[in-house]
Chain A
Amino acid sequence: MTTITKNKVTDLFLLNKPTNSNFVELRKAGLDYLESNGLPALKEEEYKFTQISKRLEQQITNFKSAQPASLSKVLVQKAIFEGFDGDIIVFNNGEFVPTLSIISQQNYSFSLLSDAKPEILGSIAKVENDPFVALNNLAFNDGVFISVPKGKKVEKPIYLLHFNQANQGQVVNQRVLIDVADSAEVTFLENTISLDEESYFSNTVVEVKVAQNSHAHYYRLQNENRQAIVVNNFVTDIHRDATFTSVATQLQGGMLRNNLTMNLLDSGCEGNMYGLYLLNGKTHVDNHTNVDHTKPHADSNELYKGILADSSRGVFNGKIFVRQDAQKTNAFQQNNNILLSEDAIINTKPQLEIWADDVKCSHGCTTGQLDEEALFYLQARGIGKEQARGLLLYAFAGEVMEHILYQPFQQYCTNLIQDRLGSKF
Chain B
Amino acid sequence: MLSIKNLHASIEGTPILRGINLEVKPGEVHAIMGPNGSGKSTLASVLAGREEYEVTDGEVTFLGKDLLDLAPEDRAREGVFLAFQYPVEIPGVSSTNFLRTAVNQVREYRGLESLDAVKFLTIMKEKMKLVEIDQKLLSRSLNEGFSGGEKKRNEIFQMAMLEPKLAILDETDSGLDIDALRVVSNGVNKLKSPDNATIVVTHYQRLLDYIVPDYVHVLYKGRIVKSGTKELALELEEKGYDWIKEEVDAAV
The reply on A80 being an interface residue by CB < 8 A is: no
A376 to B105, CA, bound (A): 15
Assembled-state Cα–Cα distance A381/B98 (Å): 9
Docked CA distance A66–B185 (Å): 72
How distant is A118 from chain B, measured CB to nearest CB, in Å? 42
A278 → B minimal CB distance (Å): 15
Distance of A379 Cα from B81 Cα, bound (Å): 11
The interface stretch among A122-130, A140-148, A395-403 is A395-403
**Using a CB-CB cutoff of 8 Å, which residues 12-30 of chain B contact chain A?**
none
* Distance in angstroms between the alpha carbons of A378 and B87 in the assembled complex: 11
In the assembled complex, the CB of A25 is this many whole angstroms from the nearest CB of chain B, namely 50
Question: Is A380's CB under 8 angstroms from B72's CB?
Answer: yes
Residues of B within 8 A of A391 (CB): 93, 98, 101
Report which of A380, A383, A399, A425 forms a contact with B48, defined as CB distance below 8 A: A380
Complex CA distance for A396 and B73, rounded to whole angstroms: 22
B112 to A: closest C-beta gap in Å: 12
CB distance from A151 to the nearest CB of B (A): 38
CB < 8 Å: which of A382, A396, A425 contacts B76? A382
A376-B106 in contact (CB<8A):
no
Q: A377-B87, A391-B98, A391-B101 are in contact. Are A382 and B109 (CB under 8 A)?
A: yes
Beyond A376-B50, A377-B88, A399-B92, whether A383 also contacts B71 by CB under 8 A is no
Are A377 and B102 CB-contacts (below 8 A) given A392-B90, A399-B92, A425-B97?
no
From A379, A399, A425, B72 is in contact (CB under 8 Å) with: A379
Digit string of B20-50 for contact with A (CB within 8 Å is 1, else 0)?
Answer: 0000000000000000000000000000111
Distance in angstroms between the alpha carbons of A391 and B95 in the assembled complex: 12
Q: Would you list which residues of chain A between 354 and 373 have a CB under 8 Å from chain B?
A: 371-373
Q: Are B50 and A382 in contact (CB under 8 A)?
A: no
Closest Cβ neighbor of B76 among chain A residues: A382
Q: Count residues on chain A whose CB falls below 8 Å from chain B CBs.
A: 24
Contact residues in B for A53 (Cβ distance below 8 Å): none
A152 vs B190: C-alpha distance when bound (angstroms): 62
Q: Is the CB of A374 within 8 A of B90?
A: yes
Check if A383 sits within 8 Å of B93, measured CB to CB: no
Q: Is A385 an interface residue (CB 8 A)?
A: yes
Complex Cα distance, B109 from A383, in Å, reads 11
Q: A377-B88, A382-B109 are in contact. Are A387 and B101 (CB under 8 A)?
A: yes
Contact of A373 among B72, B88, B99, B103 (CB under 8 A): B88
Q: Report whether B82 and A380 are in contact in the complex, using a CB–CB cutoff of 8 Å.
A: yes
Q: Confirm or deny: A384 has a beta carbon within 8 angstroms of a beta carbon on chain B.
A: yes
B162 at the interface (CB under 8 A from A): yes
Q: Beyond A376-B50, A376-B51, is A385–B98 a contact (Cβ under 8 Å)?
A: no
With contacts A376-B50, A391-B98 taken as known, whether A382 is within 8 angstroms of B87 at the C-beta atoms is no
**Does B198 belong to the interface (CB within 8 Å)?**
no
**Residues of chain A lying within 8 A (CB to CB) of residue B217:** none
Bound-state CA distance A376–B50 (Å) is: 7
Q: How far is the CA of A388 from the CA of B102 in the complex (A)?
A: 10
Give Cα A151 to B106, complex, Å: 55
Decide: A384 near B73, CB < 8 A? Known: A376-B50, A392-B93, A425-B97. Answer: yes
CA of A388 to CA of B193, assembled, Å: 30
Interface residues of B (CB under 8 A from A): 48-51, 71-73, 75-77, 81-82, 84, 87-88, 90-93, 97-103, 105-106, 109, 141, 158, 162
**Contact residues of A with B, CB < 8 Å?**
371-374, 376-385, 387-388, 391-392, 394-396, 398-399, 425
22 contacts between A and B (CB under 8 A): A371-B88, A371-B90, A377-B84, A377-B88, A379-B49, A379-B76, A380-B48, A380-B72, A381-B162, A382-B102, A382-B109, A383-B102, A384-B73, A384-B105, A388-B73, A394-B92, A395-B90, A395-B91, A395-B141, A396-B92, A398-B92, A425-B100
